């Protein structure tokens, strides 16, 4: 552990690497940082709004809380399985998708993931803009621009600063949420709210879907923040640290959202930030709460912007055949990404709540099949026996296009269409299911089963061991096979 601390102290503040492999000599950090990062990323206003949607859209308090918890555990399990890949491979999550889709083919799901990040960054910026506008007495639009400037700075600085912000945000978040819950319980009869129980499958499954989609959405980039951990880090402990931080943080925030929406008498929608702060008080207390809301959004918005940068760099590097990205290129990518998200936020700030619900549910159709394929391949087919150098070579082991992975991915998207229920599109079977959207369940289970059966029979050449890049002129390194969550990589 002392070696980790020494390496961390000598690591430059501005991240030098981007999507390339992290050599063992540069590995640093502790599992606690995974817990605090993901707790800080979830103890924030957008998670509160997501929980509130379960009530705003027709659910009661009791069954909404149960549904949200089930969704957290299901989605958090998927998210944490991706996190466990980071220390073992030392790679960003989407780079590893080239094993399943090909060096060029991986661009297909990555483009859609980029759109997801843009949307989440934009919606988070709207709420942060509201908080900064109230804090500094300026318009929401000015608040949005101020927040975007902070996100550009933190994203450009990179990995170490992001983890530091996550630790600070987790502390501030815990203090703010403890205070808000204490105020809520002193003003309201929580027991009476919990006694109102009108079970509805549609409302219950909506709550499950909201929480599950929230957690699964972290899957495409969660390994980006565990890849610097030493390769010997336990996969099981990485799974538990990232998963517990994310599930606990999100559930706490969503519980607050459920209670807030139940007490709002219709005043929550359209005034989310002001209503939450109003629960805590006025004057200096309100100012501190506005600050905590804005600061809480810094972590997750930076993760989204950083993830967008990694995805764009992954797409470009696949066609260039190189993994390196210069710092100037990094700055340009980040400016374009955050600038686009800010423009979306400015244009869509007055129709946020309804659009957000449709957005997060609709996007599940495009990255749940990716998640299913990636996890089945890593844990059941290749069992982490990756040829890391070949991931940058279109003519190498994984080729340009992997028709099996792409075909199952397309199947996974199409098979969900009858079950999707959003403002963008509603499938023909939704009405028969009581207007319940179960597409994310279909999108996880069926592609996983189809890919497992097909890949077992038709998989490409799998190396006998994990092959790592040559370092400092040495021959390529191979590590013994140690697969599964109990492996000590």
Query: Rounded to the nearest 10 degrees, what angle do helices 159-187 and 235-263 cross at?
Result: 40
Task: For CA atoms 40, 41, 46, 48, give the dihedral sign.
Answer: negative
Could you please report the per-residue DSSP string of 102-120? -TTTTHHHHHHHHHHHHHH
pLDDT (tens place) for every residue of the chain, 489 residues total = 545 554 544 555 566 666 778 888 888 788 998 998 898 888 887 888 888 888 888 888 899 999 999 999 999 999 999 999 999 988 888 888 889 999 888 888 888 888 777 777 887 788 788 878 878 888 888 888 998 888 888 888 776 788 788 888 888 888 888 888 888 777 777 787 788 788 888 889 889 988 998 899 888 888 888 988 998 999 999 999 999 999 999 999 899 888 888 887 766 666 667 777 777 777 777 788 778 777 777 877 887 787 777 777 777 776 766 656 667 777 887 888 888 888 888 877 776 655 665 665 677 788 899 999 999 999 999 988 899 888 888 888 888 899 999 999 999 999 999 988 877 778 888 888 777 778 889 999 999 999 999 998 887 778 888 888 874 333 444 444 343 343 322
Tell me what pLDDT residue 293 has: 77
The structural domain count of the chain equals 1
Tell me what pLDDT residue 237 has: 95
> How many Å apart are CA 358 and CA 206, to the nearest integer?
12
Beta carbons of 197 and 64 less than 8 angstroms apart: no
> How many Å apart are CA 356 and CA 228, to the nearest integer?
32
Q: Which residues pair with 387 in a beta bridge?
A: 467
Tell me what pLDDT residue 186 has: 78
3-state secondary structure (DSSP) of residue 395: coil
> How many Å apart are CA 129 and CA 273, to the nearest integer?
10
429 backbone dihedrals φ, ψ, rounded to 5°:
-95, -5
Q: Is 196 exposed, middle or buried (0-12, 13-18, 19+ CB in 10 A)?
A: exposed
Tell me what pLDDT residue 475 has: 40
3-state secondary structure (DSSP) of residue 199: coil
Containing 468, the helix (H) or strand (E) segment is: strand 466-468
pTM for this entry: 0.82
- CA–centroid distance for 488 within its chain: 25
Q: Residue 467: inside a domain, yes or no?
A: no
480 backbone dihedrals φ, ψ, rounded to 5°:
-60, 150
Q: Residue 335: inside a domain, yes or no?
A: yes
Q: Residue 5: inside a domain, yes or no?
A: no
What residue numbers bound the domain in which 57 lies? 31-363
Tell me what pLDDT residue 474 has: 37
Q: Residue 391: inside a domain, yes or no?
A: no
Other Cβ atoms within 10 Å of 236 Cβ, number: 15
CATH code (residue 84): 1.10.4160.10
- Exposure pattern of 362-391 as b/e (b: 16+ CB <10 Å)? bbbbbbbbbbbbbbbbbbebbbbbbbbbbb
Q: Residue 358: inside a domain, yes or no?
A: yes
Q: Residue 382: inside a domain, yes or no?
A: no
Other Cβ atoms within 10 Å of 98 Cβ, number: 30
What is the CA angle 241-246-251, rounded to 5?
A: 130
Q: Residue 260: inside a domain, yes or no?
A: yes
* Cα–Cα distance list, 445 to 42, 253, 396, 413 (Å): 26, 28, 31, 12
Torsion of CA 400, 404, 407, 409, to 10 degrees: -90
Could you please report the per-residue DSSP string of 439-453? HHHHHHHHHHHHHHH
Beta carbons of 205 and 17 less than 8 angstroms apart: no
Tell me what pLDDT residue 323 has: 56
Q: Residue 414: inside a domain, yes or no?
A: no
> How many Å apart are CA 230 and CA 207, to the nearest integer?
37
Beta carbons of 83 and 238 less than 8 angstroms apart: yes
> How many Å apart are CA 311 and CA 93, to the nearest integer?
9
Extract the tokens encoding 281. 């008080």
């Amino acid at each position: 552990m002392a070696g980790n601390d020494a390496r961390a102290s000598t690591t430059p503040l501005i991240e030098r690497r981007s999507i390339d492999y992290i050599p063992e000599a540069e590995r640093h950090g502790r599992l606690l940082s995974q817990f605090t990062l993901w707790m800080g990323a979830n103890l924030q206003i957008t998670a509160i709004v997501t929980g509130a949607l379960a009530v705003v859209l027709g659910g009661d308090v009791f069954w909404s809380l149960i549904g949200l918890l089930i969704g957290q555990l299901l989605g958090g399990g998927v998210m944490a399985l991706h996190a466990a890949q980071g220390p073992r491979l030392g790679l960003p999550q989407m780079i590893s998708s080239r094993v399943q889709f090909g060096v060029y083919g991986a661009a297909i799901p990555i483009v859609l993931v980029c759109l997801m990040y843009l949307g989440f960054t934009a919606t988070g910026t709207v709420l942060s803009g509201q908080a900064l506008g109230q804090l500094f007495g300026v318009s929401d639009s000015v608040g949005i621009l101020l927040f975007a400037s902070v996100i550009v700075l933190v994203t450009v600085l990179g990995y170490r600063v992001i983890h530091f912000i996550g630790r600070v945000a987790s502390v501030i978040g815990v203090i703010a949420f403890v205070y808000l819950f204490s105020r809520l319980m002193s003003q309201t009869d929580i027991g009476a709210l919990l006694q109102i129980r009108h079970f509805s499958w549609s409302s219950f499954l909506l709550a499950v879907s909201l929480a599950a989609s929230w957690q699964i959405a972290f899957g495409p980039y969660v390994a980006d923040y565990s890849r610097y951990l030493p390769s010997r880090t336990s996969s099981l402990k990485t799974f538990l640290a990232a998963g517990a931080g994310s599930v606990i943080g999100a559930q706490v925030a969503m519980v607050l959202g459920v209670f807030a929406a139940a007490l709002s008498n219709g005043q929550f929608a359209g005034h989310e930030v002001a209503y939450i702060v109003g629960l805590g008080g006025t004057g200096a207390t309100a100012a501190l709460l506005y600050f905590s809301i804005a600061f809480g959004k810094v972590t997750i918005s930076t993760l989204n912007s950083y993830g967008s940068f990694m995805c764009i760099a992954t797409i470009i590097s696949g066609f260039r055949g190189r993994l390196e990205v210069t710092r100037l290129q990094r700055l340009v990518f980040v400016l374009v990404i955050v600038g686009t998200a800010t423009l979306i936020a400015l244009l869509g700030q007055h129709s946020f709540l309804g659009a957000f619900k449709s957005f997060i549910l609709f996007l599940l159709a495009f990255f749940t099949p990716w998640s299913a394929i990636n996890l089945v391949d890593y844990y059941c087919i290749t069992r982490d026996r990756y040829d890391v150098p070949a991931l940058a070579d279109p003519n190498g082991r994984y080729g340009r296009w992997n028709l099996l992975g792409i075909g199952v991915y397309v199947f996974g998207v199409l098979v969900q269409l009858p079950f999707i229920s959003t403002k963008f599109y509603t499938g023909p079977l939704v009405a028969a299911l009581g207007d319940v959207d179960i597409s994310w369940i279909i999108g996880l289970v069926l592609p996983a089963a189809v890919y497992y059966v097909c890949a077992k029979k038709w998989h490409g050449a799998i190396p006998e061991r994990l092959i790592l890049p040559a370092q400092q002129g040495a021959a390529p390194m191979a590590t013994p096979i140690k697969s599964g969550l109990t492996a000590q990589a």
